[in-house]
Amino acid sequence: MEIEVENGGSDYVGDLVQQRVEHPELAPKDHFFPWHKPRKHWIRRNQWQAEAADLIAALNLSDKRRPLSYLSLPGPDMLDVRAMQQVCAESGANLRFVGFMEGGLDAQTELNLSLDEVMRMQGVDQESTVILDPLQSLADPKSVGYARTMGAASFDIVNIDLCNSIGAAPPLDQQLGCYDAIRQLLDFQRRRRPADEPWILFLTTRANHGRINAEARVRFFDCLLRNARDHAEVDQVIRDELHLDQSALSAMQAGPVQDDSAFENAFAAAVSKWLLQMLDSSPPAGTLRLLASSCAYSVRVPGSRDMLSLGFFCQTVHAPARDLAGLAASVEQPVQFPSEPEAAIEIIRLIPRLAHVDGILSNPDTYDTVTLEASDLMRSARFDADAYIDWALSQKENPKASLDVA
């Protein structure tokens, strides 16, 4: 089968690298990485797949015969795309995806194999592709990633699964930071998404203050502080739910941080507020709400919530023109969304209640069940399932082994 991997490094938009993937007998892989842990599979199943299934039903994609449109940052194993294909097949919908990936030659070789496998799966649209460029390329109008993304109608699900913090880079740094790429995506979705078609944004990010650029931290916290200063009801919910007043937020903004747990909650609120204000910044206005499937787990120390896996249900308002002279017939006005402060309040109320994945998986039966389910997905990506189960059980028996990434 001949597949196409788009070469984002080319200076020519649309330049394609065509590769014919042969299928010799390959030894099962037995080297595992942090994103292979059972807790990541719990998120794939209970957040990504569960929310995708609900969205497919809400959009009636099966009856419309429209594929689920999905943008993500797949690794060379393409586990997130495989998981999306599963839920689409179960829901009677097809899948069309665009992925962004950067990596060395070994990663690209593995990607070629994985992409060929995925493209052969039931219901995968043959227009799907993976672009060999980082997400940051979306900020460059001359890039392949920009052209391919802008060529889509819109995306049903955008999954920005970061290993580091969204705030790791200085503001305005288009090479290292993904701020411009995310703004570009939100603007794209806001302008193109039909008002009657909600969409989902997943964001995985470190919340450890040591991983966040100092100037970026100032600007993220500004989003929250301005809301608290301008709206007494927002200030009150921050006090009630996050147990922080404006002086405490200002101290966190400036550093050093004295209370890591409080900072992690405040950063989750600040990032959510940043996304909300971008959607609501200009017409057509949009809004978002934090999904109850949002969760966290530990990287810094056991019990911390410094890796956030957030999900947002997003909508846009497209208001029809109104004839104030009364010459044209009146038209039904769109349903009004919550105001920006009201939406912020609902987000902040949910943040302290995020499920802690490590706590859930501390139940041995739950851990074993998730491990077995994950082994099936790993097998589909040419991993040794028995070796995976042994490795996953070693992670359970050595809690410190889980305190790295993913």
pLDDT mean over 352-366: 97
Q: pTM for the complete prediction?
A: 0.91
The tens digit of pLDDT for each residue in 83-142 reads 999 999 999 999 999 999 988 788 889 999 999 999 999 999 999 999 999 999 999 999
What percent of the chain has pLDDT above 70?
A: 89
In the predicted model, is pLDDT for residue 13 greater than 60?
no
pLDDT mean over 384-404: 82
Output the pLDDT for position 107. 85
Confidence of residue 14 (pLDDT cuts 50, 70, 90): very low
What the block records as the tokens of 252 is 């966190």
Give the per-residue SS3 of the chain: CEEEEECCCCCCCCCEEEEECCCCCCCCECCCCHHHCHHHHHHHHHHHHHHHHHHHHHHCHHHHCCCEEEEECCCCCCHHHHHHHHHHHHHCCCEEEEEECCCCHHHHHHHHHHHHHHHCCCCECCCCEEECCCHHHHHCCCCHHHHHHHCCCCCCEEEEECCCCCCCCCCCCCCCCCHHHHHHHHHHHHHHCCCCCCEEEEEEEECCHHHCCHHHHHHHHHHHHHHHHHCHHHHHHHHHHHCCCHHHHHHHHHCCCCCHHHHHHHHHHHHHHHHHHHHCCCCCCEEEEECCCCEEECCCCCCCCCEEEEEEEEEECCCCCCCCCCCCCCCCCCCCCCCHHHHHHHHHHHHHHCEEHHHHCCCHHHHHHHHHHHHHHHHHCCECHHHHHHHHHHHHHCHHHHCCCC
Output the pLDDT for position 362. 95
Residue 97 is given by DSSP the state E
CB 332 within 8 A of CB 223: no
Output the pLDDT for position 23. 55
Of 219 and 284, which is predicted with more confidence?
219
Only one residue has tokens 């391919």, namely 148
Query: What is the overall mean pLDDT for the chain?
Result: 90
Torsions phi, psi for 344 (to 5 deg): -65, -40
The tens digit of pLDDT for each residue in 65-84 reads 999 999 999 999 999 999 99
The tens digit of pLDDT for each residue in 317-331 reads 876 677 778 777 776
Confidence of residue 352 (pLDDT cuts 50, 70, 90): very high
Of 149 and 366, which is predicted with more confidence?
366
The tens digit of pLDDT for each residue in 22-41 reads 556 678 999 999 999 999 99
The tens digit of pLDDT for each residue in 185-206 reads 999 999 999 888 999 999 999 9
Output the pLDDT for position 337. 80
Classify residue 207 as exposed, middle or buried by CB count within 10 Å of its CB (0-12, 13-18, 19+). Answer: buried
CA distance 131 to 13: 12
Radius of gyration of the chain (CA): 22
- Kindly give, in sequence order, each residue whose CB lies less than 8 Å from that of residue 121, ignoring residues fewer than 6 positions away: 82, 85, 89
CA distance 82 to 76: 12
Only one residue has tokens 């690209």, namely 108
